[in-house]
Amino acid sequence: MSGLVLSPDQMAALRSAAEAAYPEEACGLLVGRRLGNQFSVSRVVASPNRHADPRRSFEIDPATHFALLRQLRDQAVPPGQAAEEIIGHYHSHPDASPGPSPRDYEQAYDPDMIWVILSLRAGCCSTIGAWRIDPALAPPAAFLEVPIISDGAKKTLLAKDQGGT
């Protein structure tokens, strides 16, 4: 089964970051592991929004991004376990729809990355959605919605994907 696995704490961290940044866009990175088309988030890493117009767009801080890449590169990985990696990023749409915007289409380049977008209305998070791009399609169909799976369902799905019951 494909989807993005987020814990309740991670969902709360995303909401909190988006609401704290309002009326500007919040942004950050998602760290985790992939198992086929399933993405399991282990950490949400907030980033300062470095875009010149943070009320209308986002740019993840390069220093935050590179520090995280170095940390992941230097991390010891137990035998038989997949290494953590950056599996996507998140950003908010203050007082706008939760779907990908025209600017998001312009920035989309990596089909292996998850895009989490949080919609806020009057400073309160109203919707959280996840998408991946399909490079074979043209916008707006280029973004395919990815189901968000609660952490409680995670163990069951992983067991099924690995041949369990």
Which residue ranges form the domains of the chain, and what is each CATH number? 3-161 (3.40.140.10)
Distance CA 48, CA 30 (A): 14
Q: Is the pLDDT of residue 163 over 50?
A: no
**Residues of the chain with pLDDT > 90: what percent?**
67
- Residue 135 phi, psi dihedral angles, 5° rounding: -65, -15
63-96: burial string, b at 16+ Cβ within 10 Å, e else: ebbeebeeeeeeeeeeeeeeebbbbbbbbbbbee
CA 134, 137, 138, 139 torsion-angle sign: negative
Mean pLDDT of 114-142: 89
Share of the chain above pLDDT 70, in %: 88
Residue 137 pLDDT exceeds 80: no
Q: Are 5 and 157 in contact (CB under 8 A)?
A: yes
Q: What is the mean pLDDT of residues 95-114?
A: 88
pLDDT beyond 60 at 93: yes
Confidence label for 109 from pLDDT (cuts 50, 70 and 90): confident
pLDDT for the residue 106:
84
Q: Residue 158: pLDDT above 70?
A: no
Q: Which residues pair with 5 in a beta bridge?
A: 40, 149
* Vertex 75: Cα angle to 72 and 81 (nearest 5): 100
Give the mean model confidence (pLDDT) for residues 136-157.
Answer: 72
Answer whether 104's CB lies under 8 Å from 115's CB.
yes
pLDDT value at position 1? 61
Which residue's structure tokens are 């035998």?
Answer: 79
Does 159 have pLDDT greater than 60?
A: no
